[in-house]
Amino acid sequence: MVWQPINVGLTASGSLDSISLGGLPAILGLVLRLLVTACGVAAGLALLNRRPGAVTLARIVLVVSAATDLFVYLTPYFPHNRAPGETPIYVAVSLVYYTAWLAYLARSHRVRATCGDS
C-alpha cells in the first residue's frame, strides 16, 4: 500500500523519456503497472478496513502483481537499468516476496481472526 505506489511512481517518472523509444508496448506496460498498483492500494485499504473478501482480494492482487513483475523483468518492453545477469536475482527476490505474503495470508491465525476470510 505504501512501497508499491512510490516504486511505480518513481519508475514511471524515470521512464517517461524512454517511452518514445519503446512505443505502444512501453505505454501498455506502464498502464498495466499503474492498474495493478491501484488494485494493490484497494486491497490494502480493504484489509485495513476489514472489509468482507479483503483477504481474497489481497491474494488475487498478489498473484497479479507477481505476474506483472515477472512480465516487466523478463520482457524487453519496459525500460530498466539492471546490469547483465541481475534479472534472475530480481525474479527470484520477487517470487520469494510474493510467495511469503501469500503464505502469510493463507496460514496466519491473526488474518483469519481479524478478517474472517478462509
**Tens digits of residue pLDDT in 27-69:** 888 889 899 999 999 999 998 898 888 899 999 999 999 999 9
Q: Please state the pTM of the whole predicted model.
A: 0.83
- Rg of the chain over Cα atoms, rounded to whole angstroms, equals 16
**Structure confidence at residue 7 as a pLDDT band (50, 70, 90):** confident
Cα 55 from Cα 44, distance rounded (Å): 9
More confident residue, 40 or 114: 40
Average pLDDT over the chain, rounded to whole?
A: 86
Mean pLDDT on 21-27: 78
CA separation for the pair 49, 45 (Å, rounded): 6
